[in-house]
Structure 1
Amino acid sequence: MTQNAAVAPKLSNPIKAVSVVSTGTVDIRPQHVRSNGTPFLWWLMTSRRWTDPRPINVYVIEREDGLVLFDTGQDRASVTDPNYFPTSGLTGLIYRRLARFQIDSDQTLTARLASIGYDIADVHTVVLSHLHQDHIGGLSELSHAEIVVDQREWDDLHQPNPENRGMLTSHINLPGLRWRQVTPRATNDPAVAPFTAAHDLFGDGTLVLLPTPGHTPGSLSLLVRQPGATPLLMVGDVTYDVHLMQDGHIPGVGERARLRETTRAINTLRGRYPNLAVLPAHDPAAGGHLSGSSWAERAGVTTAN
């Protein structure tokens, strides 16, 4: 089966454009980006170095019926409200040492979308790669949209002490949000092999959710396909650097065995789509990968960092 034959040939609602915006920047520890085998708490508590600022990316998919977002970025309140994060005990210490954010007043999700000519009111669907706080920050601005999350991620949110796993319920369980939990189902579609489960978001083959656990139990990636365009894979925090992923390296946050399995699966998928553009949430090169794809030629890719 050829690459284009793997995509539905008749599209009732084709993708018009794909863009990326960043809701500020984050500094993290080098071991966060690339595991050296040291246990999480050890490197977190002993590291004295930070990376250079990395983007907090939100991917914007324009369809004829409106906008789909992959992730929603970081909330500006996280740098203005001293009580946004847990502050006491070991949990508070973990949050203080894990990341440093810089988010200006014009870097809210609404403002970032407006900077590339979009109205947040036109967002009808949001896919969350996972529920960590730097991916759910725009939820308060999206009460009009449907919020899609993996069922396993949702279940993990409701286990005891979710804040110890990076999920802040007070910023997720907001009144008025419309949630939809999905479970990728078994598939024998060769176009997504070696993945054996998938969820077709709109039933036309253009936006397909793939289970990519490891960073969290219910992490999702989004495969974007359309005839004549570079296939895209938005991967959240499966990796922080595409080149490290290509070499088989995994980040330092998550379940190592599953991260290795997911990394192998994505690298195998790259063999099926040799020009696949892998787009992480915090890779400084992601905007360039998107701008260098065929989407830039056919749909006017825009980046706003």
Structure 2
Amino acid sequence: MTGANDAIKRVAVLSTGSVTIRPEHVGPTWKNTYFWLFTSSRWTAPRPVNVYVIEHREGLVLFDTGQDRASVTEANYFPGGLNGLVYSRLAKFDIGADETLTAGLAKLGYAVDDVHTAVISHLHQDHIGGLPLLGNANVVVSRDEWETLHKPLPEARGLLRSHIELPGLRWTRVVPEPLGDAGLAPFTEGHDLFGDGSIVLLPTAGHTPGSLSMLVRRPGHAPLLLVGDLTYDADLLAEGKLPGVGDKKQMRSAVAKVNSLRDSMPELAVLAAHDPGAAARLDAALGAEV
């Protein structure tokens, strides 16, 4: 049952098309990233490109913004040369005209201009695709993630600056701070998005140095943890198994923290960006009484 002081009215998910990736990308694998990237001959079944939508009393919040349809309609969206080859071997996208962020929000009864805040889990291109539409929103990213954008060879690290550093966007770069909430252990630092405890950003570095996850808490509802690309399969994460891309040491630490948090929150639903089971898992969590 929703409490009187429930700051959140609704949580939903939409997908901006689908993506196929290498099985080694999902993991687990013993292979080095560049080894499997250039030798793998297999692709997964299509997986979603999820955007999570939270209707908070302060305004509409997005967690990630999906893949831009321009990436499949414009030949120069991706870089050329060796970097372009890497992108083409890493993922293949299928995005219909009715699968854009605008279309997905409309199906939920919202407009792009309704978006108050967009939290970006990390700056890879399948999470920042909606940025050109969000000039009226506050765009939140971790400071650590933003700093990676300005290190050498960003395109080789999956960061397309020309699609990120857009004129007119209002960026907020957050730094983890003490949370003072024992219920979030082993996480001791993060960022309380609205200061009411309903949406808390937690540092889960590993896929990228500044990756963020978002904890959504509502009275009477199962808590939700949106984890971006920390995993591609919540069941693998629960088993402590890592995907095939990212800093293994950091990912192992972040996965252990998430699983420890799950121990203290047995109803916690872990929702990833490209997990085919995420939508059903969200439905189950929203339908469960706690």
Provide the C-alpha distance between the structure 1 equivalents of 2:165 and 2:28, rounded to a whole number of angstroms: 32
Q: Within 5 Å, give how 1:101-120 maps onto structure 2.
A: 101-120=93-112
CA offsets per residue over residues 178-224 of structure 1, 9 Å max, x none? 00000111344211101121110000000000000000000000000
1:199 maps onto 2:224 in alignment: no
In structure 2, what is the equivalent of residue 165 of structure 1? 157
Deviating more after overlay: 35-44 vs 144-153: 35-44
In structure 2, what is the equivalent of residue 54 of structure 1? 47
1:233 maps onto 2:225 in alignment: yes
Provide the C-alpha distance between the structure 1 equivalents of 2:52 and 2:29, rounded to a whole number of angstroms: 29
Identify which of 208, 216, 230 aligns with 1:216: 208
Provide the C-alpha distance between the structure 2 equivalents of 1:213 and 1:70, rounded to a whole number of angstroms: 16
| 2:123 partner SS | coil
| 1:67 partner SS | strand
Q: Within 5 Å, give how 1:64-213 maps onto structure 2.
A: 64-88=57-81, 90-213=82-205
Q: How much does 1:292 deviate?
A: 0.5
1:290 maps onto 2:282 in alignment: yes
Letter of the structure 1 residue corresponding to residue 51 of structure 2: V
1:35 maps onto 2:40 in alignment: no
Provide the C-alpha distance between the structure 2 equivalents of 1:76 and 1:243, rounded to a whole number of angstroms: 30
Deviating more after overlay: 61-70 vs 227-236: 61-70
Deviating more after overlay: 44-53 vs 110-119: 110-119
Please say if residues 222 and 288 of structure 2, whose CA atoms lie closer than 8 Å, have aligned partners that are also in contact. no
Q: 1:297 to 1:193 in 2, by over 3 A?
A: closer
Letter of the structure 1 residue corresponding to residue 176 of structure 2: P
Provide the C-alpha distance between the structure 1 equivalents of 2:10 and 2:164, rounded to a whole number of angstroms: 28
Question: Gaps (5+ residues) in structure 2?
Answer: none
CA offsets per residue over residues 136-163 of structure 1, 9 Å max, x none? 0000011100000000000000111111
Q: Which has the higher contact order (CA 8 A, sep 6+)?
A: 1
Provide the C-alpha distance between the structure 1 equivalents of 2:234 and 2:99, rounded to a whole number of angstroms: 25
Provide the C-alpha distance between the structure 1 equivalents of 2:163 and 2:53, rounded to a whole number of angstroms: 22
Letter of the structure 2 residue corresponding to residue 118 of structure 1: Y
Q: How much does 1:10 deviate?
A: 7.7
| 1:93 partner SS | helix
Letter of the structure 1 residue corresponding to residue 190 of structure 2: A
Provide the C-alpha distance between the structure 2 equivalents of 1:297 and 1:94, rounded to a whole number of angstroms: 42
Normalised by the size of structure 1, how large is the TM-score? 0.92
In structure 2, what is the equivalent of residue 302 of structure 1? none
Letter of the structure 2 residue corresponding to residue 73 of structure 1: G
Identify which of 11, 21, 28 aligns with 2:14: 21
Normalised by the size of structure 2, how large is the TM-score? 0.96
Q: How much does 1:35 deviate?
A: 3.0
| 1:174 partner SS | coil
| 1:249 partner SS | coil
Please say if residues 146 and 173 of structure 2, whose CA atoms lie closer than 8 Å, have aligned partners that are also in contact. yes
Provide the C-alpha distance between the structure 2 equivalents of 1:264 and 1:244, rounded to a whole number of angstroms: 12
1:266 maps onto 2:262 in alignment: no
| 2:202 partner SS | strand
Q: Within 5 Å, give how 1:246-257 maps onto structure 2.
A: 246-257=238-249
Aligned residues: 287
